[in-house]
Chain A
Amino acid sequence: MSEKIPIGEKVLMKGNEAIGEAAVQACCDCYYGYPITPQNELTAYMSRRMIEEGRVFIQTESEIAAINMCYGSAAVGARSMTSSSSPGISLKQEGISYMASAQLPVFYVNVNRGGPGLGNISPAQSDYYQTTRGGGHGDYRVIAFAPSDVQELYDLTMLGFDLADKYRNPAMIQADGILGQMMEPLVLHEYKRPPDLPSKQPWRLGDPSTTDPLLVTSLVLNVTGMEERNLELQKKYDTITENETRFEEVGLDGADVVMVAYGTASRIAKSAMEVARAKGIKVGLFRPITIWPFPSARLNGLADRFDNFLVVEMSLGQMWEDVRLAVEGKAPVHVHGRTAGGIPQQADIVADLRKVLDAKPGEIVKNF
C-alpha cells in the first residue's frame, strides 16, 4: 500500500481516479488501456500507480490488444483490468465474449459517451443494451454495476473484482462522462478480500503445481459440448441473479409515481423528486445498482403496490424496455429519455411527472 494514499480517510477525487485507486487497493495485478475520452484520467492514474506498486501497466496498441492481454493475464490467474469508452468498448466485445465463454474473470469500465458511431464525448447511458445483453456474440452476460457517485465508483470497483473472481465471469462498471470527470468527496475504504473466494490454482495455466495439461478455450467444436457449456453458463447467471442483484429505494411509501433511474440520471431524478414533492406530487425513486442482473423481480413486486412508473434515463428508452418486461403490464411504464450529451432537466422531469398523473388510462408519457 502506498504511503501517499490516505486509506480510511475522506478525500476529494475525480471519479475516474477513484476507480483507479480502488483497483490498486483491490490487488489488481495488470491494467491494460488505450486512450479515449472521457476515461483518460483512469489510464493516466494507473500508469503511475501500477508502476509505483511494481505491477503491470501497458498502454496498448489498441483496445483489442488490451482486452486480449487481460485474457492472457486472467488465464494465468492474475487480476486483470481494462477501461475505455463506448467505441473502444465495442472493439473489446469479441475478447469479452471469449472470456465469458472460457470463464475467465476480468474487470472493466465503460465510461459511456454519446453514440452511435464516434458520437461525441458528452455524457450518456446509451450503451445500456450493449452492457446488459452481454455486448458481444453468443449467449452470455456480464455483471454490470451502475454507480451514481464517486464513492460508489470506488466501492463497486472493489466488489467488481471480487465478483469476477467468485463467478469466473467478466464484471464491469457502466459509468458516464459526468461520473468519470467530476470530483466528489469519498472515503478510501481499505480493501478486504472475501474469505470465500475460490482458489484459481485448479485452472490457472503455467502453474507447476498442476502437472496434467490444462486447456483454456472458448471453442467447443462438437454441438452438444458447446450447448452444454452454454447451459452451464446459464446456471451460473441464474445464481448471480439470485445472489448479486442490487438496488436502492428512496421514498416509495405512499408514492403515486415510482421513478426508475440509475447512475447520473438517478441523481437528477432524486433532485427532481424533491422539487416535485414540494409541488405536492407524491413520487419515489427506484435505483438499480446492478443493471445486469436487473432487479426485475423486485420491480414486479412493486408493480402490485404502485400505479405508475416513470423511467428516467440518458438513452432513448433502453432501460424502459427492461422495466416494462419486469412490470409485465401490471402498471403503465412511462419514459423520460435524453441522449448523447442531452441531460434530463429537473423541470422537464417534474413536468412529465405531472403528465403521468394526468394521463388517461392506456396513455403512455414519452418525451421523445
Chain B
Amino acid sequence: MERVFTKPVAMKEPRTLYCPGCGHGVAHRLVAELIDEFGLRERAIGIAPVGCSVFADLYWNFDVISTAHGRAPAAATGMTRANPDCFVVSYQGDGDLAAIGTAEIIHAANRGENFVTVFVNNAIYGMTGGQMAPTTLVGQKSTTCQLGRDPAIMGHPIRVCELLQTLGGVAYIARGALESPKTIMKTKSYLRKAFEYALDRRGFTLVEMLSPCPTNWGMTPPQAMTWLRENMLDYYPLGVVRDVGAEEKAQKPVAA
C-alpha cells in the first residue's frame, strides 16, 4: 500500500507536550516539512527560544540551540556569519521578538542577515502564564491586563511585519495564520519563499504566524480558532508584506 501521508524526517516521533489546540505543533511541522523539502536536515540549526517552544529539540530532528530571551536573532547572526553553510531557522514568540528582543530583530533585519525567522504571534505570553504581550489586542484580557488592554496605559499592539518592512536588509516578510487548513497551506507557501531567499542569501526573511493559545486565552480549541479569526485578522492582515523578488520583477521594463 502506498503511504500518502507521514511525518517529516525532520520531525522526531510524534509526541507533544503542547496544550490541545496550540499552534506551535503546526508551526514546528511546517518548518520540518520544508527542511525535508529542501534537503537541509544535516546542516540545519533550529533555535529554541525562551517560551513554550524552548523544548523545540523534542520535536525537530535536527540540531537545536536554545538562546537567551530575545536574543535569537543575535545568536542566529553569530551562527550564519561564522558558518554560512549552516541553515538557521530562528523561531520566536511575540514577547521574545517584539518586547525583550526588539533591538536584535530590528538590527538583524537591517543588516540583512541570511536566516529564516518564524514569528509565532499568539497575542500572549504562554509559558509564564498568560501575561500581556506586545501584540495583545486592545481590550484583550490577560493576567497582567485583567481589565483589558488599555492603550492609554499600556500602549498599542505592535504590527511587527509592517514595522520591519521599511528596513534596507529585508528580502521577504509575510503574515500567515494557523487557523484553518487553507491559511496553514498559505503560510507554508510564505515560509517556502523565505527558505528560498535565505538559501539564495538575499537577506532577512520573516514569516509571522498568527497562532491560537486556547489555554491562556481561556477558551476551548474551537473557540480559540474562532476568536483568532474574528479578532486578530482585522488588526493583523494576512498576506505578503514585502517581497524584493516581486518588486524587482515589477520594476523591470516590459519588453516592447
Contact = CB atoms under 8 A, between A and B. Distances in A.
A44 interface: no
B227 interface: no
Interface stretch (A68-76, A187-195, A250-258, A286-294): A68-76
Given A61-B107, A68-B75, A95 B83 contact: no
Contact of A213 (B60, B103, B104): B60
B82 A30 contact: yes
Contact of A58 (B57, B65, B81): B81
Contact of A30 (B48, B57, B67, B81): B81
Contact of A73 (B42, B82, B107, B111): B82
B79 to A, nearest CB: 4
Given A206-B45, A215-B57, A65 B64 contact: no
B71 to A, nearest CB: 4
Interface string A202-235: 0001111001011111110000000000000000
Given A72-B78, A73-B79, A61 B60 contact: no
Contacts, number: 128
Contacts of B60: 213
A40 B242 CA distance: 37
A73 B104 contact: no
A215 B48 CA distance: 10
B240 interface: no
A36 interface: no
Contacts of B99: none
Nearest to B79: A72
B75 to A, nearest CB: 4
A161 interface: no
Contacts of B75: 68-69, 71-72, 75
Contact of B68 (A74, A76, A80, A94): A94
B167 interface: no
A208 B65 contact: no
B78 A70 contact: yes
B81 A65 contact: no
Contacts of B67: 68, 71-72, 98
Contacts of A71: 67-68, 71, 74-75, 78
Interface in B29-65: 42-45, 48, 54, 57, 60-65
B77 interface: yes
Given A61-B103, A65-B71, A78-B83, A217 B57 contact: yes
A32 interface: yes
B42 A68 contact: no
A130 interface: no
B85 interface: yes
B150 to A, nearest CB: 30
B113 to A, nearest CB: 10
Interface string B69-98: 001001111111111011110000000000
A29 interface: yes
Nearest to A208: B42
A69 B79 CA distance: 7
B68 A62 contact: no
Interface residues of B, number: 36
Contacts of A343: none
A206 B74 contact: no
A71 B67 CA distance: 8
B82 A80 contact: yes
A65 B107 contact: yes
A60 B107 contact: yes
Nearest to B65: A216
B66 interface: yes
Contact of B81 (A64, A69, A75, A213): A69
Nearest to A79: B82
Most chain A beta-carbon neighbours within 10 Å: one of B60, B74, B79: B74
B77 A69 contact: yes
B57 A56 contact: no
Nearest to A216: B65
Most chain B beta-carbon neighbours within 10 Å: one of A64, A76, A217: A76
A83 B211 CA distance: 40
A77 interface: yes
A61 B45 CA distance: 23
Contacts of A75: 45, 65, 75, 78-79
A75 B60 CA distance: 18
Contact of B66 (A74, A208, A218): A218
B68 A68 contact: yes
Given A65-B107, A206-B45, A208-B42, A217 B68 contact: no
Nearest to B57: A215
Contacts of B83: 76-78, 206
Given A76-B86, A95-B68, A218-B66, A68 B81 contact: no
Given A76-B83, A205-B79, A215 B64 contact: yes
Interface of A: 29-30, 32, 56, 58, 60-62, 64-66, 68-78, 80, 94-95, 98, 205-208, 211, 213-219
18 contacts: A56-B81, A56-B82, A61-B104, A61-B106, A65-B103, A68-B71, A68-B78, A69-B75, A71-B71, A71-B78, A72-B78, A73-B82, A76-B45, A78-B83, A205-B79, A216-B65, A217-B65, A219-B66
Given A30-B81, A218-B66, 12 more contacts: A61-B107, A68-B68, A68-B104, A69-B77, A71-B67, A73-B82, A77-B82, A98-B67, A205-B86, A206-B45, A206-B86, A215-B64
Q: Would you list the 6 A-B pairs with minimal beta carbon distance, nearest first?
A: A72-B78, A206-B86, A68-B74, A72-B75, A69-B78, A78-B82
